[in-house]
Amino acid sequence: MRLPRALPLFAVVASLAACSSAPETEQQRKQIDQQAAVVPTEEPTPERRPYTISFGGDVHFEGILRPRLSNPRTALGPIASVLRKSDLAMVNLETAITTGGTPAPGKQFTFRAPATAFTALKAAGVDVVSMANNHGMDYMESGLADSLAAIKRSKYPVVGIGKNAAEAYKPFRKTVNGNRVAIIGATQVLDAEFIASWTATADKGGLASAKEEASLLRAVRQARKNSDTVIVHLHWGTEMQKCPNEAQLSLAPKLVKAGADVIVGGHAHILLGSGYLKNAYVNYGMGNFVFYNSNPATTGRTGVLTLTIEGRKILKERWTPATIQGGVPVPMTGAAKTQAVADWKALRSCTGLSARPSTVP
In a domain, 4, yes or no: no
In a domain, 143, yes or no: yes
Separation between Cα atoms, residue 201 and residue 29, nearest integer Å: 10
- On whether the CB atoms of residues 184 and 219 are closer than 8 A, the answer is yes
Q: What pLDDT shows up at residue 7? A: 41
Range of the domain at 204: 26-36+46-350
In a domain, 172, yes or no: yes
**C-beta neighbour count of 325 within 10 angstroms:** 13
Separation between Cα atoms, residue 278 and residue 308, nearest integer Å: 17
Burial of 6 (0-12, 13-18, 19+ CB in 10 A): exposed
What size, in residues, is the chain? 361
The CATH number linked to 223 is: 3.60.21.10
What is the number of structural domains in the chain?
1
In a domain, 265, yes or no: yes
Q: What pLDDT shows up at residue 28? A: 67
In a domain, 41, yes or no: no
Q: What pLDDT shows up at residue 23? A: 56
In a domain, 14, yes or no: no
Q: What pLDDT shows up at residue 17? A: 41
**C-beta neighbour count of 39 within 10 angstroms:** 15
pLDDT by 10-residue block (mean), the chain, 361 residues: 42 40 63 60 72 98 98 97 98 97 95 98 98 98 98 98 98 98 98 97 98 98 98 98 98 98 98 98 98 94 98 98 98 98 98 91 58
Q: What pLDDT shows up at residue 360? A: 64
In a domain, 357, yes or no: no
How far is CA 98 from its chain centroid? 20
- What is the model's pTM? 0.89
In a domain, 220, yes or no: yes
3-state secondary structure the chain: CCCCCCCCHHHHHHHHCCCCCCCCCHHHHHHHHHHHHCCCCCCCCCCCCCEEEEEEEEECCCHHHHHHHHCHHHCCHHHHHHHCCCCEEEEEECCEECCCCCCCCCCCCCCEECCHHHHHHHHCCCCEEECCCCCCCCCHHHHHHHHHHHHHHHCCCEECEECCHHHHHCCEEEEECCEEEEEEEEECCCCHHHHHHHECECCECEECECCCHHHHHHHHHHHHHCCCEEEEEEECCCCCCCCCCHHHHHHHHHHHHHCCCEEEEECCCCECCEEEECCEEEECCECEEECCCCCCCCCCEEEEEEEEEECCEEEEEEEEEEEEECCEEEECCHHHHHHHHHHHHHHHHHCCCECCCCCCC
Q: What pLDDT shows up at residue 41? A: 52
Q: Which of 207, 216, 290 is nearest to 252 (CA)?
A: 216
Q: What pLDDT shows up at residue 324? A: 98
Q: C-alpha distances in angstroms, 182 versus 151, 185, 220, 232?
A: 19, 10, 9, 8
